[in-house]
Structure formats: structure tokens, C-alpha cells
Amino acid sequence: MVRHGDQIAALPMFWDRKGGLQVLMVTSRDTGRWVMPKGWEMDGKKPWAAAAIEALEEAGAKGRIGRVQIGSYVYGKVLEDGTVLPCNVRVYPMLVEKLKRNWKERNQRKRKWFSPAVAARRVHEPELADLLRTLAEGTFAALDLKRIVAAA
């Protein structure tokens, strides 16, 4: 029997004054690698709503979350017993309207804004890097991302 996990992630973002896309990344609690705010699906919550909760808890980010995923990636989550569980992560865009100074996991994580190109170089998961590079290359037009989030 093949075991796998389903997770959701928010990609908090904003456009700077020059029109450049910036994405908010956080460090993982266990390894300190740069990742998106993500977590397990939540009973009774739509996936995009659960992603918004993760963004608030892990990064202190509040804003408008898109209800349409912009991509997904697979990574190996190391469990407490040392086994590796393949996880499929669905990614939802979030237009950040407020960053809280105090948030649930602020003592456990760092957060930092990156351009998608720089974020792609900082992450360790190849498929996540591909998704970020796609954003950096403009394959997702800024207008399309704004429209997706605005529709929320």
C-alpha cells in the first residue's frame, strides 16, 4: 500500500512600487529551509481557506486568498519515526494586505520577501523551485494572478 499525504500551501505575495512580484517565504521549523507556509488539509475547511490559516499561523500574513490553485509540487516529508512520506502540496495565491508583528509561530520561524527568481534558488524542493521560476519568467501574467486573487 502506497502512503502519501495531501497538503495545502499559501503563496503570500505583493507587487512592489516598480511592479515587481515579491513572494513571502518562511523557514521550516525542523531544518530552517525556506518554504511556503503550508500544512495538512483541515477537516471542514476548503483547501484555500486552510491555506490562508497556514499563512497567518506560520508567516503572520493576512490578505485575500485565491480559490483556484496556481500549481502543485511534491516533496518528501520526514516523519517523527524517520520514514519519508511523499506529499502533494496544492498552492493557492494570497495577496497580502497586512503582515502581523506578532503571530503564532514567530518564535519558531523567520519570514522574508523574495523575488520569485531568488526564492526559486533558495528552496530545496525541485518542483517548488520550478513553480517559482514559472512566476519569475512571467508565465503567469501579473494580471492573471491579480484577477485570480481578486475573484476571492
More confident site: 138 or 81 = 81
The residue type of 150 is A
Q: What kind and span of H or E run contains 10? A: strand 5-15
Residue 51: is its pLDDT beyond 60?
yes
**Looking at residue 116, what is its pLDDT?**
95
Average pLDDT, the chain: 89
Q: Write down how long the chain is.
A: 152
Percent with pLDDT over 90 in the chain: 69
Residue 152: is its pLDDT beyond 60?
no
Write the pLDDT tens digit of every residue in 107-134.
999 999 999 999 999 999 999 999 999 8
CATH numbers and ranges of domains, the chain: 5-150 (3.90.79.10)
d(CA 103, CA 126): 29
With cut-offs at 50, 70 and 90, classify the pLDDT of residue 143.
very low
End-to-end CA distance of the chain: 38
What is the average pLDDT across 30-34?
91
Cα 105 from chain centre:
15
**Looking at residue 142, what is its pLDDT?**
47
Number of Cβ within a 10 Å radius of residue 92: 28
**CA nearest 105: which of 21, 38, 9?**
38
Q: Looking at the DSSP assignment, which residues form a beta bridge with residue 24?
A: 113
